[in-house]
Amino acid sequence: MKKFPLVSIITVNYNQSEVTCKLLESLYKVTYPNLEVIVVDNNSNDQGQVIKQRYPNIIFIPSPINYGFAAGNNMGIMAAHGEFVMFLNNDIEVRPDFLEPMINKFRENPKVGAVSPKIRFFHTPSTIQYAGYTAMHPITLRNFAYGYKEEDLGQHDKDRITHSAHGAAMMVPMALIRKLGMMAYIFFLYYEEADYCARITRAGYEIHYVHHALVYHKESVSTGRWSPQKIYYLYRNRIVFMRRNIFGTNFYLALLYQVMVVIPKHSLAFLVRGRFKLFSAYYRALGWHLRHLNDKSVHENPML
């Protein structure tokens, strides 16, 4: 047990049962000998019946309402027994040996609070999606993934400390979750992992990219490439992230940048392209913040 501590793998399904089954099929081939798999179904139309029928040995948790991705992961955390929790998007497929290098990283360094594997695009499997992140700029709130859309020729085959793990595949020790709390429910979808990583680093821990671990990501299966839902939560939650994690003078500079640069730029872009549904979703996202200026739930961190 000391050599192979229990890993709880958590994934959230919403109306993508066949996609989730592909993930589970890949998990059944992993070489790590001590894991449990938890699937939280966020009130899918089919209630995840296919998943339960094909994989009766997993822990299946039906949610009566779609509370969102963060809440789904939190339901999985509350059912988990592992020493480590591995969050995987349901549109991931894994290599059989992807877990061992990440477990070893925690063994090597007690300061490590989260790790992510190398991520390649599933449909172009030699192309990198993630090999670590640059630091997020405190004013523009922008950062970049190392290796993004590069052919993988080994140029990122070295572990590194990174500013943030990738939410599609992220491992965290259960002891740290008990200390810091779970993901913030306020996000619902997008930015929850960036927020969680910011909390981890503020607590004095490091986040690492582990190159020997490899998974493949189908990306945007659940929400579509540029759906109104995706636009709404991306832009709403960027400002939620700012409200929770940017402080002092930088907060006011970041707010000014959003008002003077980002909002006019994106508004004009949606209108010029005739993307009126996206324009509407964008302004609903901004309006949410005007209605919740003093909402204390924006800053809540649910404890385990």
Each residue's pLDDT tens digit, 74-93? 999 999 999 999 999 999 99
- Joined together, the tokens standing for residue 166 give 């990738």
Band of residue 225 on the pLDDT scale cut at 50, 70, 90: low
What's the alpha-carbon Rg for the chain, to the nearest Å? 19
Exposed e or buried b for every residue in 165-195, given b needs 16+ CB within 10 A?
bbbbbbbbbbebbeebbbbbbbbbbbbbbbb
In the chain, the amino acid numbered 96 is: P
Q: Give me the CATH code for the 7-217 domain, please.
A: 3.90.550.10
- From 180, 229, 276, 218, select the one nearest 69 (Cα to Cα): 229
Lowest mean pLDDT among 99-113, 192-206, 217-231: 217-231
pLDDT at 1: 53
- Joined together, the tokens standing for residue 22 give 């592909």
pLDDT at 204: 97
Query: Are 120 and 216 a contacting pair, CB within 8 Å?
Result: yes
18-37 average pLDDT score: 97
Answer whether residue 221 shows pLDDT above 60. Answer: no
Where do the structural domains in the chain lie, given as residue ranges?
A: 7-217, 228-299
Answer whether residue 11 shows pLDDT above 90. Answer: yes
Q: Of all helices (H) and strands (E), which one includes residue 250?
A: helix 248-257
Answer whether residue 223 shows pLDDT above 70. Answer: no
Lowest mean pLDDT among 130-144, 211-225, 255-269: 211-225
Using CA atoms, how far apart are residues 114 and 281, in angstroms rounded to an integer?
Answer: 33
Phi and psi, residue 194, nearest 5°: -65, -40
Query: Are 87 and 37 a contacting pair, CB within 8 Å?
Result: no
Percent of the chain beyond pLDDT 70? 97
pLDDT, tens digit (0-9, with 9 covering 90-100), for 40-53? 999 998 888 999 99
237-259 average pLDDT score: 95
- Angle, in degrees to the nearest 10, between helices 69-79 and 192-202: 60
Using CA atoms, how far apart are residues 113 and 100, in angstroms rounded to an integer?
Answer: 16
255-272 average pLDDT score: 92
Q: Of all helices (H) and strands (E), which one includes residue 285?
A: helix 276-291
Band of residue 226 on the pLDDT scale cut at 50, 70, 90: confident
Query: DSSP secondary-structure letter at 11?
Result: E
232-240 average pLDDT score: 93
Q: How far is CA 276 from the centre of its chain?
A: 28
- Is the four-CA dihedral 286, 142, 16, 40 of positive or negative sign? negative
Other CB atoms within 10 A of residue 248 CB: 8
